[in-house]
């Protein structure tokens, strides 16, 4: 059974960068192979990993909904083939991008079929790391509801902490959380304000660590370089590596 780690947080918190660092940690510590899943509607996980993506699961879902264009092949066979074509292989991990529906109409049957093959695919990986959009739509519609770790990524602001609390509440309402939720504060400069600290303490958020604001991360982002390849001296990478063991079984 795969150990599913789901990353969530509002836009602009550096969630995908933290996800990339976590993926690197898993690979470097032999937790391989890892299935990395980009379930964010604004897909850019591949960019921080330095990978090119040609196909998405969303395209396969669209093709199946329209009936496909191949003869002598069932819809089940078509979706399985397209999902396997969507896998991007890398050293120690594979990446798959979920994408999203482009046309109108109900996608329930297509989503259910995709969910089935994602479950089959996941059995090949001891760890799955999923970078989610804030609303966690793919968690509720497409994938397993047994999330072992929900990693909430926030900036130090009170609004960011409040958004993380709402995401934790949503996960509980959807009944997708089998394990625990944990909070990581990213881009920290001078700690937390009293209001942000009070939000954490009163809303039952488990703060497991803080990652400092790192000029190297901003430099890599501005130059379009994969933050997956941050040098070992990166202060953000060092802090993140001290946090990640707390998230593993």
Listed by start position, the domains of the chain span 3-247
* Degrees to nearest 5, angle at CA 177 with 175 and 183: 130
Right CATH number for 3-247 from 3.40.50.300, 3.20.20.70, 3.40.50.720, 3.10.129.10?
3.40.50.300
Q: What are the Cα distances from residue 140, in Å, to 24, 136, 238?
A: 26, 7, 33
List CB contacts of 12: < 8 A, sequence separation 6 or more. Answer: 155
Determine contact, residues 7/22, Cβ cutoff 8 Å: yes
pTM of the model: 0.91
Give pLDDT tens digits along the chain (249 positions): 789 999 999 888 999 999 999 999 999 999 999 999 988 767 789 999 999 999 888 787 777 767 655 556 777 777 788 888 889 999 999 999 887 655 555 555 555 666 677 788 888 999 999 998 876 666 555 455 689 999 999 999 999 999 999 999 988 888 888 899 999 999 999 999 999 999 999 999 999 999 999 999 999 999 999 999 999 999 999 999 999 999 999
């Amino acid at each position: 059974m795969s150990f599913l780690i789901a990353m969530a947080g509002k836009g602009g918190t550096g969630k995908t960068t933290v996800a990339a660092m976590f993926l690197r940690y898993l690979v470097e510590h032999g937790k391989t192979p890892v299935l990395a899943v980009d379930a964010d509607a604004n897909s850019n996980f591949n960019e921080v990993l330095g990978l090119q993506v040609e196909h998405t699961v969303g395209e396969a879902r669209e093709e199946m909904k329209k009936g496909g264009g191949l003869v002598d092949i069932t819809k089940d066979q078509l979706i399985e083939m397209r999902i396997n074509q969507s896998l991007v292989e890398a050293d120690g991990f594979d990446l798959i991008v979920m994408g999203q529906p482009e046309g109108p109409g109900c996608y329930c049957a297509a989503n259910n079929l995709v969910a089935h093959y994602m479950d089959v695919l996941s059995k090949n990986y001891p760890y799955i790391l999923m970078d989610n959009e804030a609303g966690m739509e793919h968690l509720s519609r497409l994938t397993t509801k047994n999330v072992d770790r929900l990693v909430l990524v926030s900036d130090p602001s009170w609004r960011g902490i409040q958004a993380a609390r709402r995401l934790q509440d949503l996960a509980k309402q959807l009944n997708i959380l089998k394990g625990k939720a944990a909070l990581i504060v990213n881009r920290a400069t001078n700690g937390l304000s009293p209001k942000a600290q009070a939000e954490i303490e009163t809303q039952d958020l488990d703060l497991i660590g803080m990652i400092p604001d790192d000029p190297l991360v901003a430099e890599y982002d501005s130059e379009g370089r994969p933050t997956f390849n941050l040098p070992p001296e990166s202060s953000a990478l060092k802090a993140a590596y001290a946090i990640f063991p707390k998230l593993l079984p």
